[in-house]
Amino acid sequence: MADRKIALVTGAGRGLGLGMARHLTRSGVAVLGTYLTSERAATEATEPDFVFCRLDVTRIDTFPQFVTAVRSTLRERFGVETFDYLVNNAGIGTYAPYAVTTPDQFDELVQINLKAPFFLTQALLPLINEGGRVLNVSTALTRGVVPGMSAYAATKGAIEVLTRYQAVELAERSIRVNTLMGGAVVTDFGGGIMRSPDVQKLAAQTIAQGRIATTDDITAVVPAILSDAFQWATGAIIDVSGGQSL
Ligand SMILES: NC(=O)c1ccc[n+]([C@@H]2O[C@H](COP(=O)([O-])OP(=O)(O)OC[C@H]3O[C@@H](n4cnc5c(N)ncnc54)[C@H](OP(=O)(O)O)[C@@H]3O)[C@@H](O)[C@H]2O)c1
């Protein structure tokens, strides 16, 4: 087990997080995934190299207990107490035209998409191995404006800035920090807005490849980004949006 890499992926029970976890395990990386509502995915995960811990990323007060739970899960399942890769995938999207976005909508987006990865990464730092990786998740909506997504895109723009600061401040432990910029893809995101054929058609018109992504289009690259082949990239935005809003 000593040479085996271990990734912690937040929101690994469905959508892009589940895709990332599956590509990681297929490439030989063990995954500790987190879930909140995807209890079924968590309880039905029978692969020995894919385990789950429950986490509500809005509950920063519970992060110390979560760190303890991660440590004991790593010890029991993999015989180690630290891991190599942290993927801050859990996130929400809320459609709200700028003029009518409420403070509650704004706060929820900031809480889940920005404050949570900021403090979760901080809490998990003692468990991330020297030379490890942190991968934050952003969106092509930080580049191209889609009306109704201002608060969401602002939280993701902040993640891109945070990534560069983390890249510099964590370099003393040789931890590389990058942003994965995803693009339009069908998941439960935004209450399932991406399942609407009209939304898909509109989004496809902004994408160089002429269609929206499958989850594999975006997640298959994650093992490579976290691997040693990518070790000289840090503070970077890695665009896997199919050329959205170029
Ligand atoms: N879909 C897109 O078009 C798109 C494009 C670019 C970037 N992204 C980004 O990709 C990431 C994943 O989104 P997705 O498309 O896979 O959406 P999704 O299918 O709606 O999945 C959201 C994930 O976030 C987790 N989550 C939400 N609130 C949470 C909380 N309070 N505590 C813990 N976990 C929480 C969910 O956990 P449970 O399943 O346990 O509820 C779920 O795994 C997000 O950061 C999103 O911004 C999405």
2 CA to centre of ligand 1 in angstroms: 31
Average pLDDT, the chain: 97
222 CA to centre of ligand 1 in angstroms: 16
Q: Using the predicted structure, report yes or no on whether residue 192 has a pLDDT greater than 90.
A: yes
Pocket (CB within 6 angstroms of ligand 1)? 11, 13-17, 35-38, 55-58, 89-93, 112, 137, 139, 182-185, 187-189, 194
By CB atoms closer than 10 A (0-12, 13-18, 19+), residue 163 is buried
* Per-residue pLDDT reduced to its tens digit, 139-161: 999 999 999 999 999 999 999 99
Nearest to 182 by CA among 107, 50, 87: 87
* Per-residue pLDDT reduced to its tens digit, 228-246: 999 999 999 999 999 999 9
Which atom of ligand 1 is closest in space to residue 42's alpha carbon? 40
Which atom of ligand 1 is closest in space to residue 140's alpha carbon? 6
| pTM assigned to the model | 0.98
Q: What average pLDDT does range 7-25 have in this prediction? A: 97
* Per-residue pLDDT reduced to its tens digit, 57-98: 999 999 999 999 999 999 999 999 999 999 999 999 999 999
Q: Using the predicted structure, report yes or no on whether residue 43 has a pLDDT greater than 90.
A: no
Cβ(110)–Cβ(155) below 8 Å: yes
Q: Using the predicted structure, report yes or no on whether residue 114 has a pLDDT greater than 60.
A: yes
Which atom of ligand 1 is closest in space to residue 90's alpha carbon? 24
143 CA to centre of ligand 1 in angstroms: 20
By CB atoms closer than 10 A (0-12, 13-18, 19+), residue 69 is middle
* Per-residue pLDDT reduced to its tens digit, 58-68: 999 999 999 99
**Residue whose structure tokens are 């191209």:** 144
